[in-house]
Structure 1
Amino acid sequence: MQKLILGRKNHITIVSAILIIIAYVSRLGFQNEPIAIWSLIIASVLGVIPIAIQAYQALRVKVVSIDVLVTIAVIGAFLIRNYEESAIVTFLFLFGAYLEQRTLNKTRSAIKELTEMAPEVALKQLKNGEFEEVAIEEVDIGDILLVKTGAKIPVDGTVLTGEGHINEASITGEAVPVSKKKDSGVYAGTILENGTIQITADRVGEDTTFGKIIELVEEAQDSKSEAERFIDRFSKYYTPAVLVLSFIVWIFSRDIELAITILVLGCPGALVIGVPVSNVAGIGNGARHGILLKGSEVISDFSRLDTMVFDKTGTLTIGNPKVADKEIYADNVYEVLGYLASVEKESDHPLAKAVVEYIGDREPFRVEKTEVVKGGGIVAHVEGHKVAVGNVALMEQENILLSEKARADIARFEKNGNSLVLTSVDGELKALMGIRDQIRPGVKDDLKKLKKLGVKNLVVLSGDNQGTVDLVARELGLTEAHGHMLPEDKATYIKELQEKGQIVAFVGDGVNDSPSLALAQIGIAMGNGTDVAIETSDVVLMNSDFSRLPHALGLTKATANNMLQNIIIAVGVVLVLLASVFFSKWMNMSIGMLVHEASILVVILNGMRLLRYKLRK
């Protein structure tokens, strides 16, 4: 019965409104007082039933809620035969609850939009080679799926055949379609705008990137911040305090109506709802802009941070080293580069891949007697020539003479932050290549925005050599730069900063970043990073888009400010109402409840402003 009544609250609100209108029409239009009084009595009884049920449910778990205050106030007004007050108070309270729920549902629209984007069916290849439409729950890892123009990608997978352009806005926030072809990765929930592709399922259901986004945002919106926990504790003691104050007023004044009015006006509704609505709206805005904030506690810490620490590779840089400088000390350039490419194809080292990519496709030479020199490079025989490819230490080990020009080039390349690849043929230096990771486009401007938002210290930590790290720091205008840092060294450095009282955020993308991401007050993972990094972080930047970082920081600051504004509005309204009871003659229960419900609507609308938040340019 309780569930049935609470499920009809909106209907009861409408009936109460109609009965109140009938009462006033009867009284003012037809001077029919009996009908007016009975209409108000029925409206009062109907209206107080769902409120009393909620009050009873709260008392069962030993909580003196707002519903308890309103129920006592309405019963008191009813007993002193103030049916007009009791009817209006119950109607306003129910109507306020309706507005509150409707507005909160709007703030949760980000989740609703995400879940509606989730694919429900897929075209799955059967054993006979034909494709059949099945429910998404019937798709397993390794299944081959067909996706046609306009359809949603049902799983995270890899393109087997076909080409097309996919709108990945649901994952990355970017509306520009991305070209996909064989071996390209695709995400569940994205839309194939043109073309036809076949994909193999790599991740299905909740394990897909899209599924994890929904799960993370839902968890974040259900979490409570420090401010919310404080308000919960405050309400626990505040509500009984209002009851006691009302009782004391009645003892000294013997004015039951005044005591009941204090009960109504002391309801902290706006205070209870103000902070959660800011939290939900802020997290919803982040989800729409490709930023996953894992809980309202993150918002509190993130908004107050003063130090941001970055991993270099894959975070400040693209993470894909390329040949940036080269010097050739031979006339037969084509042969030397051919020997170099042939040897480097024997290695899976990132520098070797960069060299092969730079030289491009060419007929490889036959490579024999390959010897990998630990920490140095590779020595091999190519077409009867002894070829050594590696660093300066390998050249010295092979007794290769380095001319003054070569040494000057080496010094210049290192100063520019390059990793060196030297090539000798039959004991003579023939080529020098400088390879370095490229800084992400736009990172410098994004770091300037972070400084304007109040980040005092920008620090880079990297396992790369100090020269390379210093070069990146100078180019980007960072505060500090530390090279030769192992994962444990990074974690130790973050601990030292925290011991100095600094609030630290760490931005990284790899498995080796996980300890630092977990240790920092705010761990920020690049969305294309490893699963471990994403799981241990507090904030995820989808599609590894660094430009989302300033928006994330600005959003958390705006959300924290919004929470504070709502607290001030809520407390201010209650204080003004209570003061009006004692120092004015015009304040009564109906006016108080009207102002009270209006304050709830004000804090909700104030919180909803965060849904439209954009970082100012």
Structure 2
Amino acid sequence: MQKQIMSHKNQIALVNGILVVVGFGAHFLLHNEPLEVGAFVLASILGVLPIALQAYQALRVRVVSIDLLVTIAVIGAFAIQNFEESAVVTFLFLFGAYLEQRTLNQTRSAIKELTELAPESALLQVAEGQYEEVDVDEVDEGDVLLVKTGAKVPVDGHVLRGEGHINEASITGESLPVTKSVGSDVFAGSILENGTLEIQADKVGEDTTFGKIIELVEEAQDSKSEAERLIDRFAKYYTPIVLLLALVVWAFTRNLELAITILVLGCPGALVIGVPVSNVSGIGNGARHGILLKGSEVINRFSQVDTMVFDKTGTLTIGNPEVADWQFYGNEAEKKQVFAFLGSIEEESDHPLGKAVLNWLGNFDKVPVTETKVVKGGGVTATVAGRQIAVGNLALMAQTGLTVSKAIEKDAQNFEAKGNSLVALAVDGQLVLLLGIRDQLRPGVKGVLGQLKELGVKNLVLLSGDNQGTVTLVAEELGLTEAKGNMLPEDKANYIEQLQSQGQVVAFVGDGVNDSPSLALADIGIAMGNGTDVAIETSDVVLMNSDFARLPHALGLTKATARNMKENIGIAIGVVLVLLASLIFSNWMNMTIGMFVHEGSILVVILNGMRLLRYKVK
């Protein structure tokens, strides 16, 4: 019976409303008192059923809810035969709950849109050249799948055969299609706009990037900030206090109508709903723009940031460095062999500078590499074809006991002055090759940093493992507040702690891989993600397509959300105070008007929160 009533609450509200209209029609048009009373009585009884059931369910877990206040108020009005008010109050409460749920569902539209993009089926290769349509849950890692034009990519994987353009808006927020060919990575939930691809599944189900994004946004929208938890605790005690106040008023005045009016006026509905709707709308807006905000507490902290610390490579720069200058100091007859040593070592590295070196070398004769040792913040030492090789910065050369000549020092200074990062190669204790590798600044990065300043960020700091000359050059070009070079990951973390000890609220922007200690330590960790697992897991905010230009939108959105939350709290408290003041100092306030204003205030804070769904940074 309870389940039937609760599942048909909206239909009950509709019938309740029709009966209220019949009651008023009987009073004003037909002047039929029996029909009027009968309609209002039936509307009151029918309308109070779902409200009373919700109050009972809350009491079972020892919570005095708003539903209990309304139930008691309706029963009281019924007891003094004020059937008109009891009927209208139940209708307004049920109709308000319906509108509240409907508008809240709209604020969660980001989740709905993401869920609808989730692939449901896949074309699985069952034999060479033959494919069978199966449920996406039946696909395992390693399976070969076919994706046709217009279809959704069902899993994370890589292209085995074919070429096409894929819309990755569900992952990155970027609507422009991306060209995919053999070897390219593809993500579940993206759409193949043209072409046909044969792909191999690397991740399936909840392990895909798309699955993790949905999970993150769901968790973020369901999370509660400290302000929400405080309001929940306040409502827990506030509601019983209102009930007690009504009892005291009735005990002293014996005015039951006044007591039940206090119950209605004191309902804290707008206060309870105001903060969550702001946070949910803010998180939804971020999800639509490829910005993952991991919960309400992140929004609150991010809105207070006054210092932003940046990594250089892949953050302020494109992250695709190239060899711009080089000088060979060894025996010309051994140059080809030296290049083979360098390429063989760099092939085993995933460092961006290593990739730049390989692109510069092109084809080379690969030789076996043994006894490889990675020197943190320095480079690599190894044995290659029986020769002792060191590849890295000049600090590594010094650690290996190598003495750098004045001529090489001068070349190094010239390379650094041009904004190059240095990579040196030593063979058997002699430096034979010096490379200057340069990365390009992200287009428009200076304008983005200017927007951050306008949004209230006072300090823009660059921390990099690169040489100080290159870091200083970048800082001067971008107008940064401070720049530190030659920093290891632990040095960056220590510097962030130092800034925090000075009372600064620090956000760190990095790539989510090398800078995980700084991302974790900062008040807000922001990863230039490209949808990578590490970025999603280690940071508080993820810019899914690594679009640096989205950073001002992310910061502005959190500030607007925090401001919106305060507005909703002010509206909710202000309405309750005005209602109570009207009850004390005027004669026109009654239970019906109080309930109407109460439900109206809930809709006002919801609609105010929903404005965030349309937020765009100026």
- Per the TM superposition, whether the score is higher than 0.5 is yes
Q: Distance in 2 between matches of 1:324 and 1:73?
A: 79
Q: Distance in 2 between matches of 1:428 and 1:108?
A: 63
Question: Are the counterparts in 2 of residues 376 and 394 from structure 1 also a CA contact under 8 Å?
Answer: no
Classify 1:399/1:44 alpha carbon distance in 2 versus 1 (closer, same or farther; 3 Å): closer
1:271 to partner: Cα distance = 0.8
Deviations 1:476-509 (A, max 9, x none): 2222222232222222222222222222222222
Q: Distance in 2 between matches of 1:141 and 1:602?
A: 49
Question: Are the counterparts in 1 of residues 343 and 366 from structure 2 also a CA contact under 8 Å?
Answer: no
Q: Distance in 2 between matches of 1:305 and 1:562?
A: 17
- Are residue 121 (structure 1) and residue 121 (structure 2) matched? yes
* Residue of structure 1 equivalent to 2:230: 230
Question: Are the counterparts in 2 of residues 319 and 437 from structure 1 also a CA contact under 8 Å?
Answer: yes
* Residue of structure 2 equivalent to 1:54: 54
Q: Distance in 1 between matches of 2:416 and 2:372?
A: 24
One-letter amino acid of the structure 1 residue matched with residue 76 of structure 2: G
Q: Distance in 1 between matches of 2:402 and 2:51?
A: 88
Q: Distance in 2 between matches of 1:57 and 1:190?
A: 43
Secondary structure of the 2:344 match is: coil
Classify 1:570/1:429 alpha carbon distance in 2 versus 1 (closer, same or farther; 3 Å): closer
Give the TM-score taking structure 1 as reference length: 0.90
Classify 1:262/1:399 alpha carbon distance in 2 versus 1 (closer, same or farther; 3 Å): closer
1:591 to partner: Cα distance = 1.2
Query: Is 344-353 or 366-375 further displaced after alignment?
Result: 366-375
* Residue of structure 1 equivalent to 2:528: 526
One-letter amino acid of the structure 1 residue matched with residue 215 of structure 2: E
Query: Is 522-531 or 3-12 further displaced after alignment?
Result: 522-531
Secondary structure of the 1:608 match is: helix
Q: Distance in 1 between matches of 2:256 and 2:368?
A: 102
- Are residue 295 (structure 1) and residue 261 (structure 2) matched? no
Q: Distance in 1 between matches of 2:588 and 2:553?
A: 47
* Residue of structure 2 equivalent to 1:155: 155
1:50 to partner: Cα distance = 0.6
One-letter amino acid of the structure 2 residue matched with residue 217 of structure 1: V
Pick one of 431, 455, 475 that aligns with 1:453.
Answer: 455
One-letter amino acid of the structure 1 residue matched with residue 148 of structure 2: K
- Number of matched residues? 607
Q: Distance in 1 between matches of 2:8 and 2:371?
A: 80
One-letter amino acid of the structure 1 residue matched with residue 545 of structure 2: N
Question: Are the counterparts in 2 of residues 107 and 611 from structure 1 also a CA contact under 8 Å?
Answer: yes
Query: Is 279-288 or 456-465 further displaced after alignment?
Result: 456-465
Counterparts of 1:571-582 in structure 2, within 5 Å, are 571-582=573-584
Counterparts of 1:14-29 in structure 2, within 5 Å, are 14-29=14-29
Question: Are the counterparts in 2 of residues 341 and 356 from structure 1 also a CA contact under 8 Å?
Answer: no
One-letter amino acid of the structure 1 residue matched with residue 212 of structure 2: K
1:113 to partner: Cα distance = 0.7
Classify 1:25/1:372 alpha carbon distance in 2 versus 1 (closer, same or farther; 3 Å): closer
1:429 to partner: Cα distance = 10
Secondary structure of the 1:104 match is: helix
* Residue of structure 2 equivalent to 1:344: 342
One-letter amino acid of the structure 1 residue matched with residue 493 of structure 2: A
Deviations 1:238-288 (A, max 9, x none): 111212222222233322111111111111111111111111111000100
1:443 to partner: Cα distance = 2.0
1:314 to partner: Cα distance = 2.3
Counterparts of 1:136-175 in structure 2, within 5 Å, are 136-175=136-175
Secondary structure of the 1:346 match is: helix
Question: Are the counterparts in 2 of residues 340 and 389 from structure 1 also a CA contact under 8 Å?
Answer: no
1:433 to partner: Cα distance = 4.0
Classify 1:225/1:130 alpha carbon distance in 2 versus 1 (closer, same or farther; 3 Å): same
Question: Are the counterparts in 1 of residues 73 and 261 from structure 2 also a CA contact under 8 Å?
Answer: yes
* Residue of structure 1 equivalent to 2:66: 66
* Residue of structure 2 equivalent to 1:491: 493
One-letter amino acid of the structure 1 residue matched with residue 316 of structure 2: L
- Are residue 508 (structure 1) and residue 506 (structure 2) matched? no
Question: Are the counterparts in 1 of residues 508 and 525 from structure 2 also a CA contact under 8 Å?
Answer: yes
Counterparts of 1:110-509 in structure 2, within 5 Å, are 110-326=110-326, 341-348=339-346, 351=353, 353-358=355-360, 360=362, 364=364, 408-420=410-422, 433-509=435-511
1:103 to partner: Cα distance = 0.3
Question: Are the counterparts in 2 of residues 166 and 180 from structure 1 also a CA contact under 8 Å?
Answer: yes
Question: Are the counterparts in 1 of residues 520 and 539 from structure 2 also a CA contact under 8 Å?
Answer: yes
1:401 to partner: Cα distance = 7.2
One-letter amino acid of the structure 2 residue matched with residue 146 of structure 1: L
Secondary structure of the 2:189 match is: coil
Secondary structure of the 1:459 match is: strand
One-letter amino acid of the structure 2 residue matched with residue 458 of structure 1: L
Runs of 4 or more consecutive aligned structure 1 residues displaced over 3 Å after TM superposition: 325-330, 335-344, 349-353, 358-361, 364-381, 387-403, 406-410, 420-425, 427-433
Question: Are the counterparts in 2 of residues 282 and 556 from structure 1 also a CA contact under 8 Å?
Answer: yes
1:343 to partner: Cα distance = 4.7
Pick one of 602, 609, 614 that aligns with 1:607.
Answer: 609
- Are residue 13 (structure 1) and residue 19 (structure 2) matched? no
Q: Distance in 2 between matches of 1:558 and 1:183?
A: 42
Classify 1:91/1:421 alpha carbon distance in 2 versus 1 (closer, same or farther; 3 Å): closer
Q: Distance in 2 between matches of 1:108 and 1:519?
A: 31
One-letter amino acid of the structure 2 residue matched with residue 166 of structure 1: I
One-letter amino acid of the structure 2 residue matched with residue 236 of structure 1: K
* Residue of structure 2 equivalent to 1:559: 561
One-letter amino acid of the structure 2 residue matched with residue 133 of structure 1: E
Query: Is 17-26 or 250-259 further displaced after alignment?
Result: 250-259
1:81 to partner: Cα distance = 0.4
Classify 1:530/1:23 alpha carbon distance in 2 versus 1 (closer, same or farther; 3 Å): closer
Q: Distance in 2 between matches of 1:297 and 1:372?
A: 44
Query: Is 261-270 or 490-499 further displaced after alignment?
Result: 490-499
One-letter amino acid of the structure 1 residue matched with residue 237 of structure 2: Y
Question: Are the counterparts in 2 of residues 275 and 563 from structure 1 also a CA contact under 8 Å?
Answer: yes
Q: Distance in 2 between matches of 1:421 and 1:489?
A: 21
* Residue of structure 2 equivalent to 1:384: none
Classify 1:378/1:472 alpha carbon distance in 2 versus 1 (closer, same or farther; 3 Å): farther
Q: Distance in 2 between matches of 1:108 and 1:551?
A: 19
Classify 1:399/1:577 alpha carbon distance in 2 versus 1 (closer, same or farther; 3 Å): closer
Deviations 1:316-360 (A, max 9, x none): 223332123356899x9xx99867654533331554542442355
Classify 1:78/1:447 alpha carbon distance in 2 versus 1 (closer, same or farther; 3 Å): same
Deviations 1:107-144 (A, max 9, x none): 11110110110000011111454111111011011111
Unaligned runs of 5+ in 2: none
Query: Is 387-396 or 530-539 further displaced after alignment?
Result: 387-396
Secondary structure of the 2:548 match is: coil
Identity of aligned residues (%): 69
One-letter amino acid of the structure 2 residue matched with residue 120 of structure 1: E
Deviations 1:404-456 (A, max 9, x none): xx76443221223323357899x999986421233222222212111111111
1:464 to partner: Cα distance = 2.4
Question: Are the counterparts in 1 of residues 531 and 544 from structure 2 also a CA contact under 8 Å?
Answer: no
